[in-house]
Amino acid sequence: MPETALHVGRVESLPFGEITYIAHLDGRNDCVVIDPGFEPEPVIDYIEQHGLRPAAILCTHGHPDHIAGNAALKKRWPDCPIVIGAGDAEKLTDPVLNLSAAFGLRVTSPPADRTLRDGDRFEAAGIELEAYDTPGHSKGHIVLVCKQVSPWRVFGGD
């Protein structure tokens, strides 16, 4: 069986240096966007410049620097689902819970279209991901592991 190639682009977002990942399989034009930060315009530019179309917006957790771009991406691609760990879903729409209100930012996101729990599998753009609960940094923090490539890829957020 031929090796699957997973291409992963990255866009840094200020002011925290948060990284948004855009992943797609070789030969496909659909992708997943992971943790869209405070500067969604460069993420949208990257997607469009590479001829890609998001199939899912994935959030490793609900802190503002990992969800701030959700609204802009959802506005540009309204059918694209937002996916987050079940324990952090409420942070998407609540600036107190996502900690942005304390900094006077009041970041909100559209609500989750799907939530993931430990051991759940999620597939979008042909990319198969397994979710693992990793509470600590955030109570609902998840990491997403792609085991269909070698070496495996882990999208872990902070």
pLDDT at 73: 98
In the sheet that holds 18-25, the strands lie side by side as: 6-13, 18-25, 30-34, 53-59, 82-85, 114-116
What is the mean pLDDT, run by run of 10 residues, along the chain of 158 residues?
Answer: 81 91 97 97 98 98 97 98 98 97 95 98 98 95 96 93
Name 7's bridge partners.
Answer: 24
Q: Residue 158: its pLDDT value, please? A: 82
For residue 86, which amino acid is it? A
The DSSP output letter for 91 is G
Decide if 155 contacts 12 (C-beta within 8 A). no
